[in-house]
Amino acid sequence: MTLKATKTWFLRLLPVVLFFICYYCSQFYFESSGGKSPHPTLALCPNYRLQKKWENLNLNMSRKPELFLKLEDFFWKDHLSAEALPYGIKGSELLLLKVLAAISSFTMPANIESLDCRTCAVIGNGFALKNSSLGEIINKYDVVIRLNDAPVRGFEEDVGNKTTLRLFYPESASYNPGIHNDPDTLLVLVPFKQQDLRWLKEILYDEKRVQKGFWKPPPQIWLGRASQIRVLDPYFLRITARKFLQIPVQPRKQQKAVHPTTGLLAVFVALNYCDVVHVAGFGYPASRNQNQPIHYYGQQTMKSMKNSYHDLNQEAQILHRLEEQGVILYLHPHS
Ligand X SMILES: *[C@@H]1O[C@H](CO)[C@@H](O)[C@H](O)[C@H]1NC(C)=O
Residue 162 CB, nearest approach to ligand X (Å):
6
Whether the upstream peptide bond of residue 86 has omega within 30° of 0, thus cis, is: yes
Complex with ligand X: residue 59 or 102, whichever CB lies closer:
59
Complex with ligand X: residue 140 or 193, whichever CB lies closer:
140
Residues that bind ligand X (CB under 6 A): 60, 130-131, 161-162, 182
Residue 10 CB, nearest approach to ligand X (Å):
48
CA separation, residue 148 to residues 118, 163, 168 (Å) = 23, 12, 4
Query: Of 311, 226, 328, whose CA–CA distance to 277 is shortest?
Result: 328
Complex with ligand X: residue 132 or 195, whichever CB lies closer:
132
Residues 192 and 214: beta-carbon distance below 8 Å: no
DSSP bridge partners of 330: 279
Residue 130 CB, nearest approach to ligand X (Å):
5
Complex with ligand X: residue 178 or 219, whichever CB lies closer:
178
Residue 52 CB, nearest approach to ligand X (Å):
19
Gap between the Cα atoms of 225 and 263, Å rounded: 24
Complex with ligand X: residue 27 or 131, whichever CB lies closer:
131
* Torsion-angle region of 299 (φ positive above 0: left; ψ -120 to 50: alpha; else: beta): alpha
Residue 51 CB, nearest approach to ligand X (Å):
18
Edge-first strand order for the sheet with 186-189 is 229-231, 186-189, 165-168, 143-147, 119-123, 276-280, 329-330
DSSP bridge partners of 119: 276
Complex with ligand X: residue 254 or 299, whichever CB lies closer:
299
Under 8 Å CB-to-CB from 267, ≥6 apart: which residues? 122, 277, 279, 282, 319, 322, 328
Residue 71 CB, nearest approach to ligand X (Å):
27
